[in-house]
Copies of this chain bind each other. A is one copy, B any other.
Amino acid sequence: MKKIGVGIVGAGTVGSGLIQILLEKRQDIAKRSGVDLELLFVCDKNNSIKQTYPQLGFTSDYLELISNKNIDLIVELVGGTGIAYNIVKDSIKAGKTVVTANKALLSEKGDELFSLAKENSVEIGYEAAVAGTIPIIRSLKTGLVANEFKAVYGILNGTTNFILSKMEKENWDYEKALQVAQDLGFAEKDPTFDVEGIDAAHKVSLLTGLAFGKRIDIKDIYIEGITKISQSEIQTAKQLGYRIKLLGISKMISGNIEARVQPTMVPLKHSLASVMNEMNAIYIESDFAGSLMFTGKGAGSLPTASAVASDLVYYGSRRGNHDCFEDNIFDKGNIIPHGQETSRYYIRFNTVDKPGVIAEISNHLGKNNVSIASVRQDESESEPIEVIILTHRCKEQDVHRSIEVIDNLSIILKKSVMLRLEDLH
């Protein structure tokens, strides 16, 4: 049996879940994996852990873990890109294997940290950084190792999926759904990071490296959050046979990468549409294995700690394999600039009630190479009249350009709304 000494830095939500798991399940984990994970030391600012688990070593100085020769593997669960960066760097330099759930850190400083790890012949595990319990990183690196990927679509943020689900099912507006998410602990007091799509974008940057072997910066990703989604779009989408999901998308198109986070209309019959509430999901298209989908909890103390534990076992078992390293150092990817990507689109125009409106709109769309797949205008007693258009596949900048022109026409009473539509099968 291989014995791995473990130290944890950060005993917050995930850290305390991990301590519980490692103490309760040590025997079971060892039997399943052949790796005996011995939790030796916990480092935290708050010493309440010391009282709860007197059998564990405790310190408020992470350097104590770094200098401890019995610790093979350090788990960084502090979060953020400040002290967490030092913890990971110092651990690597001391020859420790590192496991982290810190997507922001890896998305921003991954290149430097993975290079440092390579120099020091250690590995960094980050299964918990993307989609919580879903073993997506292990699957991309091992389970699907032989495949070339065409596209990765993910519901990567539980907070926004919960809000969108509640808006649809309960007919709540965005503010009410956010409030409930906050009350239930699914959203932070300041929800910006989640609702504006930044958290999902960090994960898209990590998935792009794993799937396509290309590094992209978060600033290269087109990001649109869910704060502007209204009941009107949610209900209309459903009537048209779609559901709005905040999708993180990364595609390889003729050697270039399209990377985006945005509210997207997904066909109701596609499995991604049935992923509700705080669940996460990832849908992958590959050459040999075809299409795969993974669904599971994306956050929470024990679910995330479960993903961390899987890294402890995996990288623990590989520790000392000095001739066998996973490569996480990727060339910079060539990004398709925003506007140049093609897709199908949903547009809602808010118009006056008079003849010729649809002809005028179609005319301007046509001039800008936006071809209409379907038009829908229901009877209405009062203005504005909603004209809903689904386009065929076209260039996004053509859609933007035509909306800009149309919104300045006298037939338009209110700014138009545009959403991307992914015709997934």
Nearest residue (CB) in B for A303 is: B289
A323 interface residue per 8 A CB criterion: yes
Query: Which A residues from 293 to 326 make CB contacts under 8 A with B?
Result: 293-297, 300, 302-303, 305-307, 309-310, 313-314, 317-318, 321, 323-326
A146 touches B34 (CB 8 A): no
Chain B CB within 8 A of A148 CB: yes
A148 to B20 Cα, complex, angstroms: 14
Q: Is A138 an interface residue (CB 8 A)?
A: yes
**A1 is an interface residue with CB less than 8 A from chain B:** yes
**CB–CB A2/B323 < 8 A:** yes
A8: interface (CB < 8 Å): no
The yes or no answer to A135 lying at the interface (CB within 8 A) is yes
Q: List chain B residues, Cβ under 8 A from A145.
A: 29, 32-33, 309-310, 313
Q: Which residues of B contact A223 (CB under 8 A)?
A: none
Is A143 an interface residue when CB atoms closer than 8 A count as contact? Answer: yes
Assembled-state Cα–Cα distance A3/B313 (Å): 23
List, in ascending order, chain B residues with CB within 8 A of A318's CB: 317-318
The reply on A290 being an interface residue by CB < 8 A is: yes
A291 interface residue (CB < 8 Å to B): yes
| Binary contact readout A24-40 vs B (1 if CB under 8 angstroms, 0 otherwise) | 01001101111100000
How many of chain A's residues have a CB under 8 angstroms from any CB in B? 61
CB pair A133 B144 closer than 8 Å: yes
A119 at the interface (CB under 8 A from B): no
In this assembly, does A235 line the interface, its C-beta being within 8 Å of a C-beta of chain B?
no
Contacts of A303 on B, CB cut-off 8 Å? 288-290
Chain B CB within 10 Å, residue with most, of A1, A306, A326: A306
Q: Which residue of chain B is the closest to A274 with respect to CB atoms? A: B271
User: Are A32 and B143 CB-contacts (below 8 A) given A269-B274, A292-B133, A294-B294?
Assistant: no
Return chain B residues, CB-CB under 8 Å to A326.
Answer: 32-34
Q: Is the CB of B317 within 8 A of A31?
A: no
B146 close to A135 (CB less than 8 A): no
A383 on the B face (CB < 8 A):
no
In the complex, A139 has a CB within 8 A of chain B: yes
Judge whether A141 is part of the interface by a CB distance below 8 angstroms. Answer: yes
Q: Whole-angstrom distance between the alpha carbons of A327 and B327 in the complex?
A: 28
For residue A323, which residues in chain B have a CB less than 8 angstroms away from its CB? Answer: 1-2, 34
The answer to whether B292 touches A296 (Cβ under 8 A) is yes
B residues near A286, Cβ cutoff 8 Å: 306
CB-nearest residue of chain B relative to A325?
B34
The distance from the CB of A377 to the nearest CB of chain B, in whole angstroms, is 31
Query: Which A256-273 residues sit within 8 Å CB-CB of chain B?
Result: 269, 271
Give bound CA distance, A215 to B4, whole Å.
29
Within 8 A of B (CB), among A152-207: none
Rounded to whole angstroms, the CA-CA distance of A107 and B287 in the bound complex is 30
> Bound state CA distance, A1 and B322, in angstroms?
9
Determine the distance from Cα of A325 to Cα of B134 in the docked complex, in whole angstroms.
24
* Beta-carbon contacts under 8 Å, A40-80 to B: none
A279 and chain B: residue at smallest CB distance: B291
Beta-carbon nearest neighbor of A123 in chain B: B34
Knowing A32-B326, A294-B293 are in contact, say whether A288-B310 is a contact too (CB < 8 A): no
Residues of B within 8 A of A138 (CB): 135, 138-139, 142-143
Most buried by B among A143, A269, A294, A323: A143
Nearest residue (CB) in B for A302 is B288
User: Is A127's CB within 8 Å of the partner chain B?
Assistant: yes
CB of A84 closer than 8 Å to a CB of B:
no
Enumerate the 10 nearest inter-chain pairs by beta-carbon distance, A residue then B residue, closest first. A135-B143, A146-B309, A133-B289, A292-B296, A2-B324, A288-B302, A34-B324, A288-B306, A293-B295, A289-B306
Instruction: Give 15 new A-B contacts, CB below 8 A, not counting A33-B326, A144-B310, A289-B307.
Output: A2-B321, A21-B146, A29-B145, A34-B326, A133-B288, A135-B143, A142-B313, A145-B310, A146-B306, A147-B306, A269-B274, A289-B297, A289-B303, A290-B296, A292-B295
